[in-house]
Structure 1
Amino acid sequence: MSALARNRVGQYEVASDLSFGDLSAAVAAGWRDFRAAPLYGLFFAAIFAAAGIGLSYYFYNRGELAWLIAAAAGFPLLAPFAAAGLYEVSRRRLSGDSIGWGPVLGAVKAGDGQLPVMGVIAFVIFAFWVILAHTVFGVFLGQSGLGATPLQTLLTPAGLGMLGVGSAIGGIVALFLFAITVVSLPMLIDREVDFITAIIVSVRVVQLNTFLMLSWAVIIALLAFAAMAPAFVGLLVVLPLLGHATFHLYRRAVR
């Protein structure tokens, strides 16, 4: 099989030579998009941050620290869908089209409902992760819980075992969701394509550019968790930057 054939998914040609120069250029372009149209980024980021604060308050108020930890660890998995409108902003800036709230908010209906289907898939995966994480917590700390000194509890053999197993499972779930969404979501905004084809293209991009795409996944995870630390405030900058940058990386990956 020729290299060209390996790099094609239907009518789409998938790049196999993405470099850190491409990634750097995508991030720079994403930052320019955010600076050029900041209100859209702040709007979607504020909604996502408010959802995170509300979810945290709900579990904390009920004293469900185990569920809170599980939900907080998996919450960044939903971030790509909060950026759907940002993909549309980047698409319009790139094509020279006018930008308005109507088309940007309408981006969630992209592809005759294909994007909402992806949203349902992601939410199911998120719920599955929360249940898995709570189960791991119960296996290791079910009897004692976190106690009065959560940090000390996490440093015990049982706590470290929970963190190790939970991180491994979470990493697998996060990598799976990243692989099927990192290209498929902006692609659904940008082209007339069904979600199955978009997922296949997304996975193919990750396969052909494994090291670079895994590096991008790690960068996203680190920035997202760091942005969540100060009461989710950091998401007001991080989410728009990552959303716009992801769109430009997709445009470099699918030619």
Structure 2
Amino acid sequence: MRERSPARSSLAPAPRQVDLRSPWRWLALGWADLWRHPVPGLFHGFLLTAVGAALLWLARDRFWLLAGAFSGFLIVAPILATGLYQVSRALSAGRRAGLREVVSLWRSLDARLVRFGLLLGLAGTGWVLTSAGLITLWSPAAILKPMDFLRHVVLAPDLGLFEVWLLLGALLAAPVFASSVVAIPMLVDTSVPVSMAVVASWRAVANHPGPMALWAAVIAVLMGLSMLTALLGLVVCIPWLAHASWHAYRDLVRDTTPGEAQTPPSA
């Protein structure tokens, strides 16, 4: 059975040295984890990239379906990559977690991770609906296909709509990032309830606003560059960022002492 640290009141962020250099350290550690044990990471990368490519192909001519499917995919992807937190957790303990252990995590259907994934999916739906409302009211022409969005929003001669759309996206993405950056790996690592993990995540962001803003920007840039490679870059980028996120969590939140494996709480 996969061990977890018991829930403790000392899971608040520790007074560690987290500064503007930390995101680069997390990337270096994540890169090292990926190539120390590449099979689980590349398996996740290929699988999630294939899902993204399938969504892109199925909705290629319907902009709002494409926007909804891809936004949901990007927001829920950290939940789908939780097996890689288990791999980095094992490597930190001096052992290797194989695909069997990763699949065991998926098959456990941890109610907390399922619930958190559904909440992230709702957040993605909210973004798409808000975005649709903004563009429908502001755009001079109907947006039905991806080329319509490119022509009338991205390449519009007048400033305003695209810039407001980007700003709105950033404002809606910020609370999602703050709620999940520490919470998801914590749910894998411990038996704490979702509410405690989310509070710890917000506290970590509040205690280190500069480094966490930089970390969010680094994630966005790497994901954006990976998608510009016809999604092929995601094969490496997704596991790299997943492993790096584990090390971010370990730096931001006090390590818990090992204990007996517990059944996760239902809350």
Q: TM-score with structure 1 length normalisation?
A: 0.86
Partner SS, residue 12 of structure 1: coil
Partner SS, residue 48 of structure 1: helix
The aligned counterpart of 2:138 is 140
The answer to whether the 8 A contact 2:112-2:193 is kept is yes
1:47/1:131 CA distance change after superposition, 3 Å: farther
The aligned counterpart of 1:117 is 115
The aligned counterpart of 1:101 is 99
What is the alpha-carbon distance in structure 2 between the residues aligned to residue 163 and residue 146 of structure 1? Answer: 16
Residue deviations 1:24-48, cap 9 Å, x none? 3222111111001111111112222
What is the alpha-carbon distance in structure 1 between the residues aligned to residue 140 and residue 64 of structure 2? Answer: 9
Residue deviations 1:20-71, cap 9 Å, x none? 33333222111111001111111112222122112222222xx312443455
Instruction: For residue 225 of structure 1, report the CA deviation from its aligned partner.
Output: 1.2
What is the alpha-carbon distance in structure 1 between the residues aligned to residue 236 and residue 11 of structure 2? Answer: 32
1:162/1:47 CA distance change after superposition, 3 Å: farther
Instruction: For residue 157 of structure 1, report the CA deviation from its aligned partner.
Output: 5.2
What is the alpha-carbon distance in structure 2 between the residues aligned to residue 209 and residue 49 of structure 1? Answer: 32
> Which amino acid in 2 is paired with 1:90?
S
The aligned counterpart of 1:48 is 48
The share of aligned pairs that are identical, in percent, is: 31
Partner SS, residue 59 of structure 2: helix
- Whether 2:7 is the aligned partner of 1:23: answer no
The answer to whether the 8 A contact 2:23-2:214 is kept is no
> Which amino acid in 1 is paired with 2:46?
A
- Report which structure shows greater RCO (CA 8 Å, sep ≥6): 2
The answer to whether the 8 A contact 1:71-1:130 is kept is no
What is the alpha-carbon distance in structure 1 between the residues aligned to residue 66 and residue 137 of structure 2? Answer: 17
What is the alpha-carbon distance in structure 1 between the residues aligned to residue 253 and residue 108 of structure 2? Answer: 18
What is the alpha-carbon distance in structure 1 between the residues aligned to residue 174 and residue 107 of structure 2? Answer: 26
After TM superposition, list the pairs within 5 Å mapping 1:198-217 onto structure 2.
198-217=197-216
Instruction: For residue 181 of structure 1, report the CA deviation from its aligned partner.
Output: 0.6
Q: TM-score with structure 2 length normalisation?
A: 0.82
CA-based RMSD of the aligned residues comes to 2.4
- Whether 2:85 is the aligned partner of 1:87: answer yes
> Which amino acid in 1 is paired with 2:241?
L
49-58 vs 139-148, which deviates more? Answer: 139-148
More helix by percentage: 1
The aligned counterpart of 1:252 is 251
Residue deviations 1:152-199, cap 9 Å, x none? 4333256x4331222122112211111011001111111121111011
Instruction: For residue 98 of structure 1, report the CA deviation from its aligned partner.
Output: 3.7
Partner SS, residue 21 of structure 2: helix
Residue deviations 1:180-239, cap 9 Å, x none? 110011111111211110110001000000010011001101111110122211001111
1:127/1:152 CA distance change after superposition, 3 Å: closer
> Which amino acid in 2 is paired with 1:11?
S
Partner SS, residue 47 of structure 1: helix
The aligned counterpart of 1:183 is 182
The aligned counterpart of 1:192 is 191
- Count of aligned residue pairs for this structure pair: 244
Q: Which runs of 5+ in 1 are unaligned?
A: 1-8
> Which amino acid in 1 is paired with 2:156?
T
> Which amino acid in 1 is paired with 2:203?
R
